[in-house]
A and B are shown apart, each in its own frame.
Chain A
Amino acid sequence: MDEDIIEFGLYVPPHPHPLLSPEANDGYGRLRAAYDECRKRIEESDADLIIVYSTTWPSIIGHQFQANPNSEWIHVDDDFHYLGSMPYSFTMDAEFAASCVEKAESRGLQARTVNYDAFPIDTGSITALSLLNPDNRLPATIVSSNMYANRSETIVLGKAIRDALKEGGRKAVVVVVSSLSNRMFTEPIDPSEDRIHSQKDDDWNRKILEFFKDGRLEDLSQLSREIHGQIRVQKVVAYKPAWWLAATMGQHNNYSGEILAYEALNGSGGAVIQLTPATGSVGDKEFDEDDVEYYKGDREVLNKGMLE
């Protein structure tokens, strides 16, 4: 069972507001309080590692794992630069990152570690790690989100990370950094008047939160394509966080789910959610997408020419 390698999973929003301006809106404050509660729970857990999958760190050359033992810089968000700077100093587990790369490659994925001075850690990862692990009590690694990856590649990525956890005898808290609905307001708003961009987005978010609360992570994974079509701005090919989280946490529905906060962040849906491996099972989906163990890459259909 997953309790051997996964202490619990978290789903947190990427926007910097809970870190930089929690006082600007009661909702931002509640998200911050939820982050703080998660920080305490991590401190009280037996986890020895934090693994972050960030939707705001895109990659092209396969999957990148942050491996700089002391990753330091001052980051400024592209949109919300006026909220202030985000200095960071994170302790990365270079050995575990290297192990993830090895396991990913053994499952057919392209992967590499990144260990460079001044590497630009993304807004979402900085917000999450600054609030969840402020004193670097635990080492971490951050996993990029490949912009071309779809379901099979993302599922295999999660399995490769499980391989690395098992081999190393590690126990992790896994963190997905992602919005629910991700449509923001495109005009400046008064933070005190922030709200979810549309009723439709809010309705979908609340339905997703029901699944999370019931611990139905694998069901959510199976619904990813539908979620992408309904409430995600089509910036990338797919909504991948549920695939990654489900694959990394074991691909089932046996979790205790808790919604610690759900609030608007400049119109997007920001939630802090905890999933803890448990016994018993809920869920009502008959999974019709094949499980994938090994990533085979492009099928080269363009090179197969005309049918004879």
Chain B
Amino acid sequence: MPKGEIVLGALAPHPPHVVYAENPSQNEPISEGGWETLRWGYNRLARKLEKLDYDAIVVFTPHWQTYVGTHFLGLPRFKSKSVDPIFPNIFRYNYDMEVDVDLSEAMCEKAAEAGLITRMMRNPDFRVDYGTITSCHMLNPKWDKPVITISSNRNTHYYSAEVMIEQALALGKACRDAIEESGKRVVLVSSHSLSHRHFVTESPLPEDMSREHIYNHSQYVWDMALIKLFREGKMKEAIDIMPEYTEQTIAETEGGGIIWMMGAMGMPDYPAEIYGYQSVIGTGNCIAAWVPEPDAREIVL
């Protein structure tokens, strides 16, 4: 069996607004569009993924928050309706998702061997979080690949950003080991925004783009500083500034997603493909991809 590999890692923000704006049949609310810069970027990355040969998508989500270790989905299929508790007016999505349980169990086992606290989630009534659903829908609207969701352990709040980074890197390495032993080709997804300060009011028409902008200039400057490092392939430097970045922008990086992904991908030193940056209800959102195979890399934006 050939060694498994990570074929692409994507930073894939999950504001439910982008699914709402796409008007897929699975989502109940109807929109007039909105957030095109992000959606068109997602659409382009989805086209690239269609051409890639891969077996499964592994998603690290900050909206499955666990305090006792890291949890992995452990049943072959989840079918239900996801209603966003924060934005129920725009996201009520009927999902039907397959899970690669073998790979999920293998990652859980490897993480445990690395000293992390882990648990498989095998309750059939469990509702998959909207972060997973949003990122997966935008990257693979056909839903024709099995998914594995990994929960976000709340180390940052319980201990510190430094502890979170150490554990997320260890989790990433464990997941890579499991992927390599599985012989599978896998896409990793770090599902989160960058800066994460929201407006606390909403316009009558949520997709009214005349009202959309970043929460404040400081958030924007920090986001751009991080994206510059992405472009330059300086991911070790990006992770090094993550504690300060996260504190200054109350960023969703506090969940550890991109750190986990960089740990799994061996801390890339090549430029990321940037697919778009746009604010959603004030938060900063960047779609980016890291592609280990040099011949498959592009300059997108």
Contacts and interface: CB of A to CB of B under 8 A. Distances in A.
Contact of A81 (B87, B92, B123, B200): B123
Contact of A185 (B68, B125, B126, B157): B68
B296 to A, nearest CB: 36
A122 B68 contact: no
B132 to A, nearest CB: 13
Given A78-B151, A114-B88, A118-B92, A184 B117 contact: no
Indicate the size class of the contact surface on chain B: 20 to 34
Contacts of B88: 114, 116, 119
Contacts of B158: 183, 186, 233
A62 B200 contact: yes
Nearest to B86: A60
Contact of A186 (B67, B85, B92, B202): B67
B119 A186 contact: no
A82 B124 CA distance: 10
Nearest to B283: A60
A84 B125 CA distance: 9
Interface string A140-159: 00000010100000000000
A110 B201 contact: yes
Given A148-B200, A234-B157, A78 B66 contact: yes
A116 B92 contact: yes
A183 B125 CA distance: 27
A78 B65 contact: yes
Contacts of A120: 83, 85, 127
A81 B216 contact: no
Contacts of A62: 200-201
Residue of B69, B83, B87 ringed by the most chain A CB atoms within 10 A: B83
A243 interface: no
A255 interface: no
Nearest to B217: A302
Contacts of B157: 233-235
A4 to B, nearest CB: 32
Interface in A83-125: 84-85, 110, 114, 116-120, 122
A289 interface: no
B44 interface: no
Nearest to A83: B123
In the complex, the 7 A-B pairs of residues with the closest C-beta atoms, listed nearest first: A85-B125, A81-B123, A76-B126, A118-B81, A74-B125, A116-B88, A60-B198
12 contacts: A58-B86, A61-B200, A74-B125, A78-B71, A81-B123, A116-B83, A119-B85, A184-B68, A186-B158, A188-B69, A188-B119, A233-B154
Interface of B: 64-69, 71, 80-81, 83, 85-88, 92, 117, 119, 121-123, 125-127, 151, 153-154, 157-158, 198, 200-202, 216, 281
Given A60-B86, A61-B201, A110-B200, 5 more contacts: A81-B122, A184-B67, A185-B68, A187-B117, A188-B68
